[in-house]
C-alpha cells in the first residue's frame, strides 16, 4: 500500500505531441525488455491518458519511440490494457468510426478500418498474449498501432481535409504560444 502511494506520488502527466509535429512520423522500435523504466512510462502514460481524458495513447505521442500502447475503452475507466510490441495477426470485415486523437485536439473524422482483428503482444509483465477484438476496441488498437508506425489518422482523409486540419492546428498552436508570451510579459 505504501509502495502504491509512493509510485502514485512520482507519476507525471507527460506532454503530448500535437499534429503536424514531424516527430509523430517516427517509426517506433520494439521493446527489448519490460523493465522498471518501461513500467514507469506505462504509469505516466496512463495518468496522461486518464487526465486528458482519452481512451488510447501510444508512446510515440509522448515522444518515446518504442512499441508501447495503452488503451482503456471501459465506461468505469479502470480497465487499462497494455500492449507491448503489438502485432495484428489477422483482420476481418470493415467498419466506419468517427475517430479522434489526443494529438489532434478538437478534430473528429470518419475512418474505415477492419471490423475485427486478432492481435498478439506482451502485457505489462512481459508475458505474451493474443486477443480478439471488435468494435471500438478493435478501432482503438488499429489507431494506436498506426502511431507506432508513424501514422496519424488524418492521413486517411483527403488531402484537402488534411490540409485544413493542419492549418487549423498550426493556427491553434501559434495562439497558445502568443498566450504564453503574454503571460510572461504582464
Ligand atoms: C483514439 O483517442 C481513438 O479531440 C484515442 O479534444 C479515438 O483518446 C480511437 C480526445 C476514437 C477510436 C475512436 C480527443 C480528447 C481523445 C480530442 C482519444 C480532445 C480530447 C482522443
Ligand atoms: Co491518436
What's the pLDDT at 176? 83
Return the ligand number nearest the Cα of 155.
Answer: 2
Residues 6+ apart with CB under 8 A from 14: 44, 45, 48, 62
Give me ligand 2 centre to Cα 8, in Å.
Answer: 25
Q: Whose CA is nearest to atom 13 of ligand 1?
A: 99
Distance CA 152, CA 176 (A): 22
Annotated catalytic residue, options 120, 144, 155, 175: 144
Return the ligand number nearest the Cα of 139.
Answer: 1
pTM of this structure: 0.94
Looking at the predicted structure, is the pLDDT value of residue 154 above 80? yes
- Is residue 109 part of the annotated active site? The answer reads no
**Tens digit of each residue's pLDDT (9 = 90 or more) over 103-120:** 999 999 999 999 999 999
Closest approach atom of ligand 1 to CA 107:
4
**CA separation, residue 4 to residues 12, 81, 83, 148 (Å):** 14, 19, 22, 29
By the 10 Å C-beta count (0-12 exposed, 13-18 middle, 19+ buried), 47 is classed as: middle
Amino acid at each position: 500500500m505504501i509502495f502504491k502511494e509512493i509510485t502514485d506520488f512520482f507519476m507525471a502527466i507527460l506532454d503530448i505531441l500535437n499534429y503536424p509535429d514531424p516527430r509523430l512520423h517516427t517509426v517506433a522500435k520494439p521493446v527489448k525488455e519490460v523493465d522498471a523504466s518501461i513500467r514507469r512510462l506505462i504509469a505516466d502514460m496512463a495518468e496522461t491518458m486518464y487526465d486528458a481524458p482519452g481512451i488510447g495513447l501510444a508512446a510515440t505521442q509522448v515522444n518515446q519511440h518504442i512499441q508501447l500502447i495503452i488503451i482503456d475503452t471501459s465506461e468505469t475507466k479502470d480497465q487499462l490494457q497494455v500492449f507491448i510490441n503489438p502485432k495484428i495477426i489477422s483482420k476481418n470485415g470493415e467498419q466506419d468510426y468517427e475517430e479522434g486523437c489526443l494529438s489532434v485536439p478538437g478534430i473528429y473524422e470518419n475512418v474505415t478500418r477492419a471490423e475485427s482483428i486478432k492481435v498478439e503482444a506482451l502485457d505489462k509483465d512481459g508475458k505474451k498474449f493474443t486477443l480478439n477484438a471488435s468494435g471500438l476496441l478493435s478501432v482503438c488498437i488499429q489507431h494506436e498501432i498506426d502511431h507506432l508506425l508513424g501514422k496519424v489518422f488524418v492521413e486517411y482523409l483527403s488531402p484537402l481535409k488534411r490540409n485544413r486540419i493542419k492549418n487549423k492546428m498550426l493556427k491553434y498552436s501559434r495562439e497558445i504560444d502568443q498566450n504564453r508570451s503574454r503571460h510572461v510579459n504582464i
